[in-house]
Structure 1
Amino acid sequence: MPAKRFFVAAIAVAVVALSGAPGCGDDTDTSVEEPTIRPNLPAVPNVPPSPYPITYPDGTYTVYGLRKRLEHTMDTDVRVTATIVDVYVPPECPEGRTCPPAKMPHLWLGDSADEQDANRRLTLVGYAANQKEIDDAREDAAHGRTPEPPEGEGLPPIPIDLDRGRRGIFEGRFARISGAGFLESEGLLDYRNHRLEGTPEAEPTKNR
C-alpha cells in the first residue's frame, strides 16, 4: 500500500512540474520585443539667401533675379545690370592648317566680376555674326572711320567695348534659344542694346 501511495505522489509531482515548464502552457509569453529603429537622416542643409536682389531700384534685373522669376521673364525683353565676367576668344589657327570654324562671338555676365559658377552666369549672344565684324569695327574706330552698319535693317552697330570687367545695363530677349541658334536650357540673353557704366546712354535700337 505505501508503495502505491508513493507511485501516485510521484505522478502528481511530475504533472505539476510539466505544467510549469516553459512552452507547455497556454499562458506562455511568446512575443518578441521589436528593436527601436531610429532613422539616420542627413541634416537639412542650411541654404544661405542670395546676396543679390531680384531687381535693382531702377527696375533692371540681376542675373539671379532673371532666373528666379523664370516664369515671368522667359521669352520676354528684359534689362539686366551685370558685369562681363569672361569673353569668348576664338582659338588661333596655325598658318597652313585647316581648323574648324570658330563659334559666334559671345560672353558671360555675372552679378559679380569674379563669378566662377557657370550656373550663375548669363550668356550674352547676338551682338556680332563673327569675330571679324568686331575686329573691323575696332579698326574703324581706331582710325576715326564710321563703321559700316551690319547687314540687315534696324540692326544695332557692332559693339567694340564689351570687355571683361565692364559693368552696365544689357538689354535683350531672354530665351532658351537665340535667333542665331545658341541654346541654353537655363536661358540666355539675345543682344539688343547696352550701356556701360561711365558711358553716355545708348540710343534705343530695333530688335535684331
Structure 2
Amino acid sequence: MKLRNSSVPVTLVATLVAAVVAPGALGCAEKVEETGPQEEELPNITVELPTAPDFNEARAPVKWEGDPDGAYSIFGLRKDIDDRLKEGESGEKIVVKGWVQEIYVPPECPEDQLCPPGKQPHFWITDSPEEKGKKRAMMVVNYHFPIPEWDEDTQAMWEDQPLVVVEVGKQYTIKGEFKRFSDSGFAHDNGLLEFHSYKAPNPDPDSSGELIWIYPPNSDWHPQTVAMTEAQNAEMQARMQKEAEALQKKKGGGE
C-alpha cells in the first residue's frame, strides 16, 4: 500500500508541538516577583517668593510736618476727598506741597501746516521726587495766562510782574482750589488743583530773598488786576452818583 504525501502545513505542526511543550516549560520558569507602583521621588525645590509690596511706603503724611502754611500732601488731600472737594467747589483755598513731575509743553506746529491748538498750560506734582506715572500725581491748572504778542498794551502792563516759573524735580508750595472740574475745562476723578499762587523768593533786588506768594500775571485774581477792577468800579460808582445828583438837581429846579 502506497502512502500519500502529507499535506499538513508546516506551520500547523509547529503550533501543535509548541502547545505540547509549553506546559512543561512554564513549570521550570522562575516566578517574577510582583511589585506595586513605585513612588517617584521629587527633587527638593525651594520656592522663593518676592517680598510683598509695602503699600504704606508710597504714602506721605496728611500734612507736611513743620510746614508753616499747614500744607497738605497729595495723599492727605485725597484721603477725605469728598470733604476737600466740597471746600474747593465753595471757593475755599488750600495749600499743597509737592514735587513737579512733568510740565505740559504744546507740540510744535510746522509753518506750512495747520495744527489744532494745544492744551491750556498745566503741570503735574507728586508727593515724592521719585514717583513715576500719574496714578498718585495731581494736575495743577491755570498757572499761566499767555498774552498775545500783538497786545503790546497788556504786555506793558505786566512787564514788571514776576511770572510763575516751575521746574521739573523741584518742590513747591502751592495755593489753590481742589476740584474735579476746572474753570478752563480740565477734569480728573481724583481731583485737580486750580492754581491761585505759589511761594517763591521775592524778586525785588532790595529784598532779602524771603519767600512770598506770587500770582499769575494777567489772571483775574492777581492783586494788580483786583486793584484795577476795584478802581474802575469806584470810578463808575462815582460817575453814577454824580449823574444821579445832577438829575435830581435838574428835577428840583424844574418844580
Give the TM-score range, shorter chain: 0.5 to 0.7
> Deviation digits for residues 153-189 of structure 1, max 9, x if unmatched?
xxxx673421212212111000000111111111000
Count of residues in correspondence between the two structures? 148
In percent, how many aligned pairs have the same letter? 29
- Aligned-residue Cα RMSD (Å) equals 3.1
Given the two structures, how large is their TM-score scaled by the length of structure 2?
0.50
SS of the residue 1:127 aligns to? coil
Counterpart contact for 2:162–2:214, Cα < 8 Å: no
Counterpart contact for 1:110–1:120, Cα < 8 Å: yes
Separation in 2, partners of 1:129, 1:174:
19
1:35 matched residue in structure 2: none
- Gaps in structure 1 of 5+ consecutive residues: 1-44, 150-156
Which residue, 158, 168, 171 being the options, matches 2:175? 171
Shift of 1:201: 1.8
- Gaps in structure 2 of 5+ consecutive residues: 1-51, 202-208, 223-255
1:101 matched residue in structure 2: 117
Distance of aligned partners of 1:97 and 1:127 in 2 relative to their CA distance in 1, 3 Å threshold: same
1:48 matched residue in structure 2: 55
2:130 matched residue in structure 1: 114
Separation in 1, partners of 2:210, 2:130:
22
SS of the residue 1:66 aligns to? helix
Given the two structures, how large is their TM-score scaled by the length of structure 1?
0.61
Shift of 1:51: 3.9
Pairwise mapping of residues 108-147 of structure 1 onto structure 2 (< 5 A)? 108-130=124-146, 147=158
Shift of 1:146: 6.8
The structure that is helix-richer by fraction is 2
> Deviation digits for residues 13-48 of structure 1, max 9, x if unmatched?
xxxxxxxxxxxxxxxxxxxxxxxxxxxxxxxx7653
Distance of aligned partners of 1:110 and 1:46 in 2 relative to their CA distance in 1, 3 Å threshold: closer
